[in-house]
Amino acid sequence: MAVTAVSGVEVRRPVPRLRRLEDERWLALALLVPTAVLLGLFIAYPFFEGVMLALSSSRVGIPGEFVGLKNFSKIWDDSIFRTAVWNTFWYTGVTTVFKLALGLWLAMLLNRHFKGKALVRAFILLPFIIPTVLSTFAWKWMFDPTFSVINWTLFHLGIITTRINWLGDPDLAMTSIIIVNIWRGVPFFAISLLAGLQTISPELNEAAAIDGARPWNRFWYVTWPLLLPVTMVVMLFSVIQTFADFQLVYVMTGGGPANATQLFATYAYQIGIGTGLLSEGAAISLAMFPFLFIIVVVQLLYIRRVETR
């Protein structure tokens, strides 16, 4: 049976459907279809559903009806939402600057040759590898108003005389979540930038050194321009992730005290799940989109400019 079938195929000419794939356009289409289907199912469809939800009056268990932009006008008028917008920008901006500076510094150090280099590189990744919820719980304990180990240390070193109310003071609460986000994000920057640094030929730096360039000049005029495309991509990922951060703040402060650490995602959860106002929660989530879209477009345009320079 099998022999007959094989020989049958051998003698028969290829069916027209398969011959079509010899045409590059059809082949490209065939190869793209699985990705397009996956993107459509898991990104485009949920996004479309999210948009439809945000334009409806849907609550949990009640489908609701089309209400246009009513949800958006309601959240625009909501002082907690405005606080969340400001907090998100501040949180993303400050953490990104620090993550970039510290990550770059760490990457430069790790790019040198020293004993146990591989081990140190592996350990650097730990904050990034540990599940965020677990590490955040550990940080929560460290910032605990009553049992903070940071306060204990500072007190015993004679630096403070009264305890610091890390998570109870609005500014300090924001500072605390920023510190934890930086701690978690620096390894990602460091390892990615390290990979970028390793693609830069050492000869370029050596040539600059021979020409008399000082270390800072070598970094600024040789290393940095070559590292810029990688840096921009890393920043792009980081900004997107930080802008939509949820679990860190949810575990540390729940958005408190008095909404001092409320972000887009935590407020969307509070409204969508806690209050059952699914459409309003979706509107808050979706309100992130234009901001993120502009940031991403600007960054992508900049990357293109840098790459084609």
Partner 1 sequence: MVKTKRRSVLKLAGGTAAVSLGGMAGILATGRTPAYAQQKTVHWLKWVDFVPATDTLFRKEMMPEAEKALGVKMNLETVNGNDLQPRITAAIQSGAGPDLIMSFNSYTHLYANSVVDMSALAEEVGTREGGLFPYAKAICSDGKMFMGMPWAVIGGMVAYRKSWFDEIGVDKFPDTWETYREAGKKLKAKGHPLGQTLGHTFGDAPGFTYPYLWSWGGKEVEADGKTVVINSKETLESVKFMTGFWKDAHDEGGLAWDDTNNNRAFLSQTIAATLNGASIYIEALRKPEQYQTEKGQPLNKDILHAPLPKGPAGQFGFHLLQSNMLMKYSKNQDAAKEFLKWLHTEANYRKFFESQKGFATPCTAKWESDPLWNVDPVMTPYKVAARLGQAIGNAGPPNAKAQEVLSKYIVTDMYAKAVQGMPAEESVKWAESELKKVYEV
Task: Pull the structure tokens for residue 37.
Answer: 């289907």
Least distance CB 94 / partner 1 (angstroms): 20
62, β-bridge pairs = 59
Task: Pull the structure tokens for residue 72.
Answer: 């958006």
Touching partner 1, residues 278-307 (CB under 8 A): 278
Least distance CB 278 / partner 1 (angstroms): 8
50 is an interface residue for partner 1 by CB under 8 A: no
**20 or 74: CB nearest partner 1:** 74
34 is an interface residue for partner 1 by CB under 8 A: no
134 is an interface residue for partner 1 by CB under 8 A: no
Report the distance separating Cα 169 and Cα 166, nearest Å: 6
Q: Applying CB under 8 A, which part among 20-28, 78-86, 201-209, 297-305 lies near partner 1? A: 78-86
Least distance CB 1 / partner 1 (angstroms): 21
Question: Alpha helix (H) ranges present in 115-223?
Answer: 117-124, 126-129, 132-142, 149-156, 170-198, 202-210, 215-218
61 is an interface residue for partner 1 by CB under 8 A: yes
46 is an interface residue for partner 1 by CB under 8 A: no
The mark string for 172-201 relative to partner 1 (x by CB under 8 A, - otherwise) is: -x----------------------------
254 is an interface residue for partner 1 by CB under 8 A: yes
Q: C-alpha distances in angstroms, 138 versus 19, 55, 71, 142, 180? A: 61, 40, 37, 6, 10
274 is an interface residue for partner 1 by CB under 8 A: yes
Nearest to 54 by CA among 291, 266, 284: 284
Instruction: Please pick, from the candidates 185, 187, 196, 255, the single residue that binds partner 1 as defined by CB under 8 A.
Output: 255
Report the distance separating Cα 104 and Cα 118, nearest Å: 18
Residue type (1 letter), 229: P
Q: Taking a C-beta distance cutoff of 8 angstroms, is the pair 279, 54 a contact?
A: yes
Q: Which residues bind partner 1 (CB under 8 A)?
A: 59-62, 74, 77-80, 144-147, 163, 165-170, 173, 253-259, 270-278
